[in-house]
Amino acid sequence: MPSRSKPVIINLLNLFKTGEFIMRGALVKIHKAPVFILGNQKAGTSVISALLSQTTGCSVSIDLAREFLGDGAIFTKIKNGRAAFDTVVQRNRLDFSREIIKEANLTAFMMILPPGFRNQNLYLSSEILPIICEAS
C-alpha cells in the first residue's frame, strides 16, 4: 500500500469511529458523579483504571475517545478560555456516561471540573498506586 494513501484510510476509519461515538453518545445519560482517575502521562493511570473496573465491575472509559481520535485541540481551547469544560463533556457523552473516567489530559483541569464532578471521586494515580500495592 502506498504510504500517501495510509493517512486517507486512517482518516476514514477515524471518521466512522467518531460517527459511532456520536450516535451512541446521543443515547446515553452523563454520569452525575463518576470516579476520575487523573495523573501524568505514563503514570499508570490506564492500568489503575482497568484494575478498578475489573475489580468493582464498574464501567470504565480509558481516554476520551473523540479527543484521542482527534487532535486534542479542545484542551488548549479550554486552557485559553475559548471553550467551556462542558464542551468536552458533550463531545464525549459516551465516555462521561461511565462510572470510572481516566483521562490524563484532564489533570490540568481538575480545579475547574463542574461542581457535580468536583467531589471525593477525584483521584491522582500517585494516591491510588500505594493502596493497590498494599492490598496485593
Is pLDDT larger for residue 69 or for residue 29? 29
- Of the candidates 100, 94, 120, the residue with the CA atom closest to the CA atom of residue 56: 100
What is the distance between the alpha carbons of residues 103 and 99, in angstroms, rounded to a whole number? Answer: 13
- Residue 104 contacts residue 39 (beta carbons within 8 Å): yes
Q: What is the pLDDT of residue 45?
A: 87
**Cβ neighbourhood burial of 96 (10 Å; 0-12, 13-18, 19+):** buried
Q: What is the pLDDT of residue 69?
A: 65
HSE-CB of 1 using CA atoms within 13 angstroms: 8
Q: How many domains does the chain have?
A: 1
Q: Provide the pLDDT confidence category of residue 136 given band limits of 50, 70 and 90.
A: very low
44: left (phi over 0), alpha (psi -120 to 50) or beta: left
- Quick: pLDDT tens for 62-80: 988 777 666 778 888 888 8
Q: Look-up: residue for cell 498506586?
A: 129
Q: What is the pLDDT of residue 1?
A: 44
Q: Which domain, by its residues, includes 11?
A: 3-135
Q: In the chain, what percentage of residues exceed pLDDT 90?
A: 7
- Of the candidates 124, 136, 14, 119, the residue with the CA atom closest to the CA atom of residue 70: 14
Average pLDDT score, the chain:
75
- Of the candidates 23, 27, 46, the residue with the CA atom closest to the CA atom of residue 100: 46
Lookup: cell for 106: 484532564
Strand 35-38 and strand 100-102: the pairing is parallel
Is pLDDT larger for residue 129 or for residue 33? 33
